[in-house]
Structure 1
Amino acid sequence: MGDKKVSLPAKLINGGVAGLVGVTCVFPIDLAKTRLQNQQGVQVYKGMFDCLAKTIRSEGYFGCYRGAAVNLTLVTPEKAIKLAANDVFRQKLSKDGHLPLWGEILAGCGAGTCQVVVTTPMEMLKIQLQDAGRLAAQRPMATPSQTAAAGPAPSLVASASQARPARPQRPSATGITVELLKTRGLAGLYRGAGATLMRDVPFSMIYFPLFANLNALGREAAEGHAAVQVRAPFWQSFVAGCSAGSIAAVAVTPLDVIKTRLQTLQKGEGEDTYRGIVDCTRRILSREGPSAFLKGAACRALVIAPLFGIAQGVYFLGVGEAVLGLLE
């Protein structure tokens, strides 16, 4: 297996399957992360468990999966690009089967840069859908006219034509996409692209080298140099993915908070709007203090750890190679 070249179609299939399985398992925690990070003035939720409990109580169990359709649709190309690009870059930078640490970091940087093409619009739409329930809970007695006046882009949320104050009409991914394209063009879907890049590149630079080294632990000592090429068992890939993912996730949480705030179009009463990364950083620091940059850190670690553990486990099972083998 050592001289086997990277099969890009197989890597794309592996990345897609891995992303679908991972997102399905951890999406409710990701929803809690987004809502906690967006809280500025009125504290609707006290923490992750309180957020999930209130979401289920007011929106039902499937309220925890609000915005999941967008993620499940776009996570396949997103994870496929990220994981496959990292593998391709690692292969190109390797010499005689050896990849130095700088090569691992550079490969991760390239993977993080490539995925932003899909990640930015996916996150943009997901955040609007995830945060709608928080805004509704913050002003439960709002009238349709007050709801429309609450944010900088009122047309992005469907108007509540019937008087049901506690159950405003929910925005849809299609409606948000159409409105953004109509009013702001393609650039509307890529709002916060700089912040997304600023988060994803350092994450990948930390995650991929750390995962690769954790995933290789113990294998070289088994049978000497040749054992380096032996694929790690599922459990090792899973644990390595969880560990590397949680460390990288916590490390870039401040950047994730900035990205989430910039990409949120609808704001609650008294909540800040931002002109860019520097303005957002300055306002958060002055109004909420340094601790605000760690909002949702525990949730983010709980999302990313199993997400990448599952993703790497499924990825290393070689599902793509099996599928392509059946098609041949």
Structure 2
Amino acid sequence: MGEQPKFKLLPKILNGGIAGIVGVTCVFPLDLVKTRLQNQQIGPNGERMYNSMLDCFKKTYRVEGYFGMYRGSGVNILLITPEKAIKLTANDFFRHHLTTKEGKLPVQREMMAGGLAGLCQIVVTTPMELLKIQLQDAGRVAAQAKASGKTADIPKISATSITLKLLREKGIVGLYKGTAATMLRDVSFSVVYFPLFAHLNSLGPRKADGSGEAVFWCSFLSGCASGSLAALAVNPFDVVKTRLQLLSKGAVSPVSRNSRCDYVSMCLYVE
């Protein structure tokens, strides 16, 4: 029986970093819409700022323009490389070491490897998500303030100013608000995603170069299917995490701070 192939760390880190940057660039507008839909307040009579995903896209683009759809992306692009590198590298590392001497990896061990990878990534994911959420929600806050004539009350924020404020007031712990919810989401996601991807990917045709790797379209479709199902499974945890990590709940809530008329006027503004 031959030796198991050696685990190569550097290629895994590079692949994870590149994949993370490409992923952020492609799907960040969707993530921004997700955050705003998860954070929006509902008025006493069911009034909403956004009625649907498409409605949120249209209103955000109309008020903030194309680059408004990428509000907060700088934080993700900066931190997504270590986050994805940790996640993908840790998963491969644990899969490598949990493989039996016979070269097999039972599904229980696949899930364990995925869960441990998700646990490792929260050291980067938690502060990244915390900062990203504040920046993504800033456009909605500005729209509400403009509608009510209180633009002077909303200071401009940046990832640097938020980080320094949290470090000054709460120390490093301030950047890890919502860690438990982030852990619940990321561990659960990885437990579902990685084993499912591995099994779907193994069903497709292999490359002709003898490497044993799946062809590109098979890996791509396997990733899309696995990611969609895993995201659907953990979405309730993601909603909880997003709402826990929003730092300025009182300042942005149209229900708690403004009257029903103010809330409606804010919605009319973005229309």
**What is the aligned partner in structure 1 of residue 110 from structure 2?**
104
Q: How far is 1:266 from its partner? A: 1.3
Q: How far is 1:54 from its partner? A: 1.1
**What is the aligned partner in structure 2 of residue 186 from structure 1?**
172
Please state if 1:207 is matched with 2:193.
Answer: yes
Instruction: Report SS of the residue matched to 1:99.
Output: coil
**What is the aligned partner in structure 1 of residue 161 from structure 2?**
175
> Which residue of the other structure, out of 216, 223, 238, is the alignment partner of 2:220?
238
Please state if 1:261 is matched with 2:261.
Answer: no
| AA at the equivalent of 1:4 | P
Instruction: Report SS of the residue matched to 1:230.
Output: coil
Instruction: Report SS of the residue matched to 1:185.
Output: helix
**What is the aligned partner in structure 1 of residue 267 from structure 2?**
none
> Which shows bigger deviation, 199-208 or 130-139?
130-139
Residue 204 and residue 271 in structure 1: after superposition, are their counterparts in 2 closer, same or farther (change >3 A)?
Answer: farther
| AA at the equivalent of 2:150 | T
Instruction: Give the TM-score normalised by structure 1.
Output: 0.71
Q: Give distance in 1, aligned partners of 2:111 and 2:253.
A: 42
**What is the aligned partner in structure 2 of residue 72 from structure 1?**
77
**What is the aligned partner in structure 2 of residue 291 from structure 1?**
none
1:1-328 mapped onto 2 (5 Å cutoff)? 3-42=4-43, 43-95=48-100, 96-139=102-145, 140-144=147-151, 147=153, 159=155, 170-218=156-204, 230-267=212-249, 268-269=252-253
Cα-to-partner distance string for 1:166-214 (whole Å, 9 max, x where unaligned): xxxx310011111111111111100000100011101100000000000
- State how many pairs are aligned: 245
Instruction: Report SS of the residue matched to 1:66.
Output: coil
Do the aligned partners of 2:16 and 2:89 also contact (CA within 8 Å) in 1?
A: yes
| AA at the equivalent of 2:41 | Q
Do the aligned partners of 2:204 and 2:218 also contact (CA within 8 Å) in 1?
A: no
Q: Give distance in 2, aligned partners of 1:143 and 1:35.
A: 20
Q: How far is 1:53 from its partner? A: 1.3
Instruction: Give the TM-score normalised by structure 2.
Output: 0.85
**What is the aligned partner in structure 1 of residue 265 from structure 2?**
none
Q: Give distance in 2, aligned partners of 1:144 and 1:35.
A: 20
Q: Give distance in 1, aligned partners of 2:74 and 2:17.
A: 15
Cα-to-partner distance string for 1:217-237 (whole Å, 9 max, x where unaligned): 1459x9xxxx8x711111111
> Which shows bigger deviation, 229-238 or 200-209?
229-238
Q: How far is 1:142 from its partner? A: 3.8
Q: Give distance in 2, aligned partners of 1:144 and 1:138.
A: 9
Q: How far is 1:134 from its partner? A: 1.3
| AA at the equivalent of 1:113 | L
Do the aligned partners of 1:15 and 1:80 also contact (CA within 8 Å) in 2?
A: yes
Do the aligned partners of 1:44 and 1:138 also contact (CA within 8 Å) in 2?
A: no
Q: How far is 1:138 from its partner? A: 2.8
Residue 218 and residue 56 in structure 1: after superposition, are their counterparts in 2 closer, same or farther (change >3 A)?
Answer: closer
Do the aligned partners of 2:142 and 2:151 also contact (CA within 8 Å) in 1?
A: no
Do the aligned partners of 1:44 and 1:137 also contact (CA within 8 Å) in 2?
A: no
Q: Give distance in 2, aligned partners of 1:188 and 1:66.
A: 22
Q: Give distance in 2, aligned partners of 1:271 and 1:104.
A: 45
Instruction: Report SS of the residue matched to 2:69.
Output: helix
| AA at the equivalent of 2:23 | G
**What is the aligned partner in structure 2 of residue 165 from structure 1?**
none
5+ unaligned residues in a row in structure 1: which ranges?
Answer: 149-158, 160-169, 273-328
| AA at the equivalent of 1:185 | G
Q: Give distance in 1, aligned partners of 2:255 and 2:26.
A: 31
**What is the aligned partner in structure 1 of residue 259 from structure 2?**
none
Q: How far is 1:36 from its partner? A: 0.2
Residue 271 and residue 233 in structure 1: after superposition, are their counterparts in 2 closer, same or farther (change >3 A)?
Answer: farther
Q: Bigger relative contact order, structure 1 or 2, given CA contacts below 8 A and separation 6+? A: 1
Residue 266 and residue 142 in structure 1: after superposition, are their counterparts in 2 closer, same or farther (change >3 A)?
Answer: farther
